[in-house]
Amino acid sequence: MRKATIIVRPKAGILDPQSQTIERQVQQSGVHGIESLHLGKIFELVIGDDVTESALAALAQDLLANPVMEDFEITLS
Amino acid sequence: MRAAVVVFPGSNCDTDVVTGLQTVLGIAVDRLWHKQTHFDAAYDLVVLPGGFSYGDYLRCGAIAAHSPIMAEVKRHVERGGYLLGICNGFQILTEAGLLPGGLRGNAGLQFICRDVALQVANRNSPFTCALPNADLTLPIAHHDGNYLIDDDGLKRLQDQDQIALTYTTPVNGSVANIAGVLSANKRVLGLMPHPERAVDQAVGNTDGREIFLSLQTTIGA
């Protein structure tokens, strides 16, 4: 069995008030040097040998991410 | 006019739609369960109601947009049927690709539950043709009503007169204050405000009646 990780995050440049709020809190946390923070989602999949990366991309495009507002990134291991 | 409302797990405004249409138009509304793969082609209007389908898991409306009934809802639109998505129903329509753009968390990160003033941007659509000239007031109740569309998409909406309603003042961060969007053929409307909650004088506001009366004017009794 292989593992696939799909990361979904808001598209760059889109106003993301949730990340901004967390970023402000993190910057007040006492840990210095944190420049920015972006919140995303991780989907961890266990997949059979015949699942292709293009099939996963289609799945991400159709369901796991909303292409209007989110980008995704697939890692196979 | 024959109408039906689709019920998904977590829908909670289906009864409001049934009662609203009964009150305004005096027509009975059938309920359709989301697992149905077909429904009667004689329905003129299908409504996707508000609520929290599938607990808003993944994204609001994302799972419901893949429900078995949605393929038939798309066929209903291809047959020339009218389709109305209210609140969560609007989110489902964008997730299903039946309307352009998307809806995400309100800019202020808060659930907003109050009456809002709305400007009617298109008065010629099947859903808005009977609306009075004045602004409308309708209730909203949502956490994810922040309408997003890219610049090209917004231009297409404007060029094709697809913006139905706008908030008169910024409410939730929506691009161009958009509150309701029409399909290119104007037979599909998605909106965040709840017209079905404003049809009876007993609740102090009947501005929502005109949306349903517009449909009746278009479709016939």
- The domain that holds B38 is classified in CATH as 3.40.50.880
For the question of residue B142 being annotated catalytic, the response is no
List alpha helices for chain B, DSSP H.
14-25, 69-78, 88-95, 151-159, 209-219
Judging contacts by C-beta atoms under 8 Å, the chain B residues touching residue A69 are 102, 104, 148
Q: How many domains, in total, are found in chain B?
A: 1
One of B87, B142, B143, B210 is an active-site residue; which one? Answer: B87
What residues make up the domain containing B79? 3-219
Query: CA B163, CA B189: separation in Å to the nearest integer?
Result: 9
pLDDT tens readout for residues B3-55: 999 999 999 999 999 999 998 889 889 999 999 999 999 999 999 999 999 99
Domain residue extents for chain A: 2-76
pLDDT given for residue A39 in this prediction: 94
> Is A66's CB within 8 Å of B101's CB?
no
Look at residues B190, B212, B180, B208 and name the one whose alpha carbon lies nearest to residue B61: B190
Domain over A2-76 is classified CATH 3.40.50.300: no
Report the half-sphere exposure of B19 (CA within 13 A, side-chain side).
11
Compare all CA atoms of chain A with the CA of B57 and give the residue at the minimum distance: A64
> Is B58's CB within 8 Å of A68's CB?
no
- What are φ and ψ of residue B64, in 5° steps? -60, -35
One of B34, B76, B143, B194 is an active-site residue; which one? Answer: B194
This complex has an ipTM of 0.88
Q: For residue B101, is pLDDT > 90?
A: yes
Which B residues in the span 22-61 are in contact with A, Cβ-Cβ below 8 Å?
58-59
Structure token pair of residue B56? 């808003």
Chain A interface includes B156 (CB < 8 A): no
Residue B4 and residue B16 in contact, taking contact as beta carbons nearer than 8 Å: no
Three-state SS at A60: helix
Average pLDDT over residues A15-27: 91
